[in-house]
Amino acid sequence: MQDQALPEPIESPFLADSAGPIRHGFFTRAGGVSEGIYKGLNVGLGSNDDQSRVMENRARVANWFSAPAAKLATVNQVHSADAITVGRDYDGARPSADALVTNEPGVVLGVLAADCGPVLFTDSEAGVIGAAHAGWKGALNGVLENTIDAMVALGARRNAIRATLGPSISVKNYEVGPEFVERFRAYDPSYDRFFTPSARSGHMMFDLPALTVARLEEAGVQAGSLGLCTYADADRFYSYRRMTHAGESDYGRQISAIAIMEE
| Whole-structure pTM value | 0.96
Q: Is the pLDDT of residue 262 over 90?
A: no
For 69-107, the pLDDT digits (tens) are 999 999 999 999 999 999 988 988 999 999 999 999 999
**Would you say residue 3 has pLDDT above 80?**
no
Percent of the chain at pLDDT above 90? Answer: 90
Q: Which of 20-24, 40-44, 138-142, 184-188 has the lowest mean pLDDT?
A: 20-24
- 13-167+221-260: which CATH number, 2.60.40.2220, 3.60.140.10, 1.10.760.10, 3.30.70.1520? 3.60.140.10
Model pLDDT for residues 167-200, shown as the tens digit of each residue: 999 999 999 999 999 999 999 999 999 999 999 9
* Side-chain half-sphere exposure of 64, counting CA atoms within 13 A: 31
Mean pLDDT of 21-29: 96
- The arithmetic mean of pLDDT across residues 10-22, rounded, is 83
Give me the residue spans of the domains in the chain.
Answer: 13-167+221-260
Range in 17-26, 28-37, 91-100 with the lowest mean pLDDT: 17-26
d(CA 96, CA 99): 10
Cα separations in angstroms, 263 against 104, 115, 260? 12, 35, 9
Q: Do residues 165 and 133 make contact, with C-beta atoms less than 8 angstroms apart?
A: no
Asked if the model's pLDDT at residue 19 lies above 70, the reply is no
**Nearest Cα residue to 113 out of 258, 260, 251:** 251
On the question of pLDDT at 45 being above 60, the answer is yes
